[in-house]
Structure 1
Amino acid sequence: MLENDLKTYLGFDEFRLGQKEVVEAAVAGEDTFVMLPTGSGKTVCFQLAGYLREGLVVIISPLLSLMQDQVERMKVYGEKRVVALNSFLNANEKTTILNQLERYKFVFISPEMIQQEHVLAAFQRQKIGLFVIDEGHCIAQWGPDFRPDYLQLGAVRETLNYPVTMVLTATATETVRAETQKVLNLKNMKQFIYSVNRENIAYKVITCEQRKDKDTELLKLVKELEGPGIIYFSSRQKCQDMSLLLSERLNLDVAYYHGRMDPADRIAIQQQFTHHQLDIICATSAFGMGIDVPDIRFVIHYHPAQNIESFVQEAGRAGRDGKPSLSISLCHQESDYYLAQSLSVRDLPDYNTILNPQSYTREALENNWVTDTQWRFLKTYKEMGFNPNAIWEVVQARQTLKKEQIDAYFKWLQTTQCRRDRLLRFFGEADIHQEFQCCDNCDLDESIYHKVANDFTKVVKNDWKKTLWEMFVKKM
């Protein structure tokens, strides 16, 4: 029985929603697309299926911090045959791992690294028991522009002789699922699609008349709400500034996190938050994938998410323990809409850049004539056989799609209808008409999310030298 295997390998007594069916299909050799709500234990699906299949389990993961977190968690629970093959390793360490892949059962790797010729050749020499794409929505969301190497994962599967494949995500529309199937060449993909609804998360939107009102609202919210919490920003500078302001004004342990930080610093911050050494994280969208903090009580969007799918992913990091949690969006319609539009096309090359043959050279990247993202975009599509006019058509199509996604998201922010039902409809689900603690347009008692006592003083975490100084020296 699979329940016995679940207990033996992972220590759990019973499966959660969808897990058993997914594992059964993978063990039987079927390719699967798995959409389970955030916090439902998607990692159990590939871990148990991996144990029950002969061969190496390769997990394509989008972020360094996510890889490291998952590897450390598996090691804590006793699995020593796990490694993350990433840029934290030096050349000798990578070579050693690649030469001894048979020693491992689970290998985490990015879509960029697995396509390096010598890396892929090393995996070709192994029996691949399971090929996993974690956060599989990235194929359709990031592949066409931001991370074009995702579009080559179908070719990687072919090189590895089409191993049994499992795609895992928390959000994916029917269009995204179809695009994923096409990219990966999954002809007979079995789909396990479960509702994105998280009934314990309530939704609220606060409309700000002036852009500066957001700071006042944020201070008020963080002062009132029980933590821990995540606050999302689109601006790295605003992320840092608000982290400092919240820390000074409210005497909380607050840190900021964004993609331009040193990778080691990002992992350190994530570990501090995971171990409840921080009250609040001010972060860009680079933070949160796979984070294992079950008791996050609120997620606030200071700036809008990229689209509805990103919003659901980010808001869904709250309340994984099933307890009441709150998603709040601060919205200044004019500036937020402009910001979302400008960020959505920031890394796409313009027409003249595409036409210029120099844009495709390493010199263009080294001299900052193009951004790193633009260079990878141009290089990938050129290698795929696209001429400049065809590449421009891709850019125009992406611009149109992103505008449509932003428009849909802002309609949700402005709606006077049930916010939960509107989200479900976006993913093709039926309305559910939740009666209690639904959203600000339905039933919502915000007081249940507030701190129990109206006492916002904080015990300072002193080291022993400072404590002794305050006890004896200061009083003299």
Structure 2
Amino acid sequence: MRLEAVLQSKFGYPAFRPGQKEIIESVLSGRNTVAMLPTGTGKSLCYQLPGYVIEGQVIIISPLLSLMQDQAEQLMMNGEKKVIAFNSFLTSAEKKQALIHLNQYKFIFISPEMLYYESVLSQLKKLRIALFVVDEAHCISQWGYDFRPDYLKLGEVRKIIGNPVTLALTATATSEVKGDIKKSLGILDDCSEFIYSVDRPNIALSVERLDNFREKTERLVELAEILKGPGIIYFSSKKKAEQSAELLRDKGAKRVMAYHGGMDQESRILVQQQFIHGQLDLICATSAFGMGINKDNIRYVIHFHMPLQIESYLQEIGRAGRDGKQSIAIMLYSPGDEQLPIQLAESELPDKAQIDWIMEWVEENPNAIPNIGLFEEQIKQRSGLTDVQWRIFNDFFDRKSKSGLDYRRILQDMKGYYEGRIKLKRDSIEEVYKWIHKKTCRRENILSYFDEGKNASVPSCCDICGLQLGNFTRNTNSDNQESPLYDWKNHLEYLLIPSE
């Protein structure tokens, strides 16, 4: 059967997007494959379509519960019944039933944490796994912007289940990250690579510099009033996302809601569906929103808070303009904005003092060392570790202790490792800060970060190259004159600021 016929019958698309067919053909030929496609260009099709052509199960590893839920639900909405998202959203009884009948599913979405349960691994070994998919594969690499320790074990899991054909997907990855992905999965010497530009030429890039937080909030309200939607505004704070949604409603925006990880699952799904089906025009969200959301007509993305890295910024603005039409990404910046991402980055990992407190606890309880994971609450109470910090600590301690290292050496190594991670995160934040303050083409600077060159002229490129904001507002000027809403005074002041 021709791939185009499967594409039309199963997905309703007349033609492949750039890169999709080549990646699918590589997988179907039995080649392990690493693929980098920009956000919004249809990475999920690269494993969904092969699933309908080859015999056996497709296992999809996904780092976010919301992402796997979205992708599983999209398949079900397209008529696929043999799909399951095997994660913590399932009750114990549902998990037990799912494991018993796992061979009846075609597409099995699973979190990396779930893979390491013996009951899960034993069932996976019984399956005929046609394709092992690692979504958001940059999470494997310690150099990646969203490194997840659980992803490091995927190569071991892959070996246990028989080294099935593997597809690693990501939207953004440097050369170091791509190398780590292949090495960790055990496909370094047997792998096809398909790397496409991270550029999305239909998304205009703009940074607006405001003097303070109050001005930034006022500008946010103004942009929400004038920009053609639908749109997404990204925040680093759940509280600020909620407050901003409420503020915008108070200012007359009727179809706006907040979305963040603190909401219950039912509320999140409701907001997603209302946005997808046009019942909401604007979402005030934290970074999880949009991953896997199948909405192609988002016209703008605003960043109220500074992202932690260039990679995540590209991921988030990539939710705009998936239909190929002109869209805009606007970052609002005021002096001192870089402090919040630094605080967030540092809070993800235990600091030296916390590790010292753990050291004291271990010395008081030496018999706990072989099974330190059983003493989670005691250690968290002594050291003040958050749930995320505990998971990172426990994984590091477990891996190092298996290599026979003394606990003192492990905890000393941990300090050095965390210092390196913090430096990496600070360097990434510094890259974003420099990008904001550079005086040359924003698109060109992003492409340079990924060792790419700018190949062609882009009409609505960025605020540095010249950009008519009126082209993206509800009342576009047909005579193509400069919009009075674009603050050239502010822009000129920006250009006069010395570069860092």
Residue in structure 2 matched with residue 372 of structure 1 by the alignment: 387
Quick one: which amino acid aligns to residue 372 of structure 1?
D
Q: Which range moves more in the overlay, 195-204 or 38-47?
A: 38-47
Q: Secondary structure at the match of 1:250?
A: coil
Equivalent residue for 2:446?
A: 423
Deviation for aligned residue 1:433 = 5.2
For residues 411-438 of structure 1, the C-alpha deviation after alignment (integer angstroms, 9 at most, x for no partner) is 1111110001111111111123524110
Measured against aligned partners, the alpha-carbon deviations of 1:367-408 in whole angstroms (never above 9, x if no partner) come to 483111111111101111161122122101101111111111
1:189-224 deviation digits (Å, cap 9, x = unpaired)? 211000111111001101111122110110111111
Is the contact made by 1:131 and 1:166 (CA closer than 8 Å) also made in structure 2? yes
Aligned equivalent of 1:152: 153
In the aligned structure 2, how far is the partner of 1:379 from the partner of 1:240?
Answer: 33
* TM-score, structure 1 normalization: 0.91
Q: Distance in 2 between matches of 1:421 and 1:127?
A: 46
Which residue is equivalent to 1:66? 67
- The corresponding residue for 1:11 is 12
Number of aligned positions between the proteins? 453
**SS of the counterpart of 1:400?**
helix
- Measured in 1, the distance between the counterparts of 2:378 and 2:267 equals 29
Superposed CA RMSD: 2.0
Corresponding residue of 1:384: 399
Q: Distance in 2 between matches of 1:77 and 1:322?
A: 22
Amino acid at match of 1:203: L
- Aligned ranges 1:373-412 → 2 under 5 Å: 373-385=388-400, 387-412=410-435
Q: Residues 412 and 383 from structure 1, CA distance in 2 versus in 1: closer, same or farther, beyond 3 angstroms?
A: same
Query: Corresponding residue for 2:437?
Result: 414
Deviations 1:54-112 (A, max 9, x none): 21100111222222222222122221111111222111111111111111110111111
Shift of the 144–183 alpha-carbon distance from structure 1 to 2, 3 Å rule, reads: farther
Name the counterpart of 1:127.
Answer: 128
Shift of 1:5: 3.3
Question: Which structure 2 residues correspond to residues 323-338 of structure 1 after superposition, within 5 A?
Answer: 323-334=325-336, 336-338=337-339
Conserved 8 A contact 2:228-2:299:
yes
- Describe the shift of the 1:221–1:8 C-alpha distance in structure 2 as closer, same or farther (beyond 3 A): closer
Q: Distance in 1 between matches of 2:250 and 2:79?
A: 41
Counting only pairs closer than 5 Å after superposition, residues 40-189 of structure 1 correspond to structure 2 as 40-140=41-141, 147-187=148-188, 188-189=190-191
CA–CA distance in structure 2, aligned partners of residues 443 and 263 of structure 1: 42
The one-letter code matched in structure 2 to 1:399 is I
Question: Greater CA deviation, 83-92 or 104-113?
Answer: 83-92
For residues 265-320 of structure 1, give each alpha carbon's deviation from its aligned partner in whole angstroms, at most 9, with x where no partner exists. 22222222112211111111121111111011100000011100000000111111
Residue 303 of structure 2 contacts residue 331 of structure 2 at CA under 8 Å; is this kept in 1?
A: yes
The answer for the alignment partner of 2:405 in structure 1 is none
Instruction: Name the structure 1 match of 2:467.
Output: 444
Deviation at 1:324, TM superposition (A): 0.8
Match of 1:227, SS state, is: coil
Cα 1:450–1:321 change in 2 (3 A) is: same
Partner of 1:458: none
SS of 1:192's equivalent?
Answer: strand
| Ranges in structure 2 where 5+ consecutive residues have no aligned partner | 363-371, 402-409, 478-500
SS at 1:107's partner residue?
Answer: strand
2:131 alignment partner, SS class? strand
The aligned runs of 1:275-290 (5 Å cut-off) are 275-290=277-292
| Separation of aligned partners in 2, 1:262 and 1:342 | 26
Q: 2:255 corresponds to which residue?
A: 253
**Residue type of the alignment partner of 2:309:** N
Q: Does 158-167 or 267-276 show the bigger shift? A: 267-276
How far apart are residue 365 of structure 1 and its match?
Answer: 6.1
Shift in CA distance, 349/146, structure 1 to aligned 2, threshold 3 Å:
farther
Q: Do 2:145 and 2:311's aligned partners in 1 also have CA atoms closer than 8 Å?
A: no
Q: Residues of 2 paired with 1:141 and 1:266: CA distance? A: 30
Asked if the contact 1:59/1:109 (under 8 Å) is kept, the reply is: yes
Q: CA deviation at 1:353?
A: 2.2
| Structure 1: gaps spanning 5 or more residues | 455-476
- One-letter amino acid matched to 2:141: A
Amino acid at match of 1:78: G
Aligned to 1:37: 38
Q: CA deviation at 1:142?
A: 9.4
How many Å apart are 1:141 and its aligned residue?
6.7
2:364 corresponds to 1:349? no
Gap change, CA 1:292 and 1:9, over 3 Å in 2: closer
Show CA shifts across 1:244-278 (max 9, x none): 00011023211111122222322222222112211
Aligned equivalents of 1:226, 1:290: Cα separation in 2? 22
CA positional deviation for 1:449: 0.6
Q: Given the alignment of the two structures, is residue 225 of structure 1 paired with residue 227 of structure 2, yes or no?
A: yes
Q: Post-superposition shift, 1:453?
A: 8.1
Report the Cα distance in structure 2 between the residues aligned to 1:374 and 1:106, rounded to whole angstroms.
32
State the shift of 1:185 in Å. Answer: 2.0
Identity %: 46
- Distance (Å, rounded) in 2 between the aligned partners of 1:291 and 1:145: 19
Please tell me the residue identity of whatever aligns with 2:38. P
The residue correspondences of 1:228-307 to structure 2 (distance < 5 A) are 228-307=230-309
Question: What is the alpha-carbon distance in structure 1 between the residues aligned to residue 304 and residue 379 of structure 2?
Answer: 33
More displaced, 353-362 or 55-64? 353-362
* AA in 2 matched with 1:102: N
Equivalent AA in structure 2 for residue 379 of structure 1: N
| Equivalent-residue separation in structure 2 for 1:374 and 1:58 (angstroms) | 28
Contact 2:145 2:309 in 1 (8 A): no
Letter in 2 for 1:14: A
Q: What letter is aligned with 2:397?
A: K
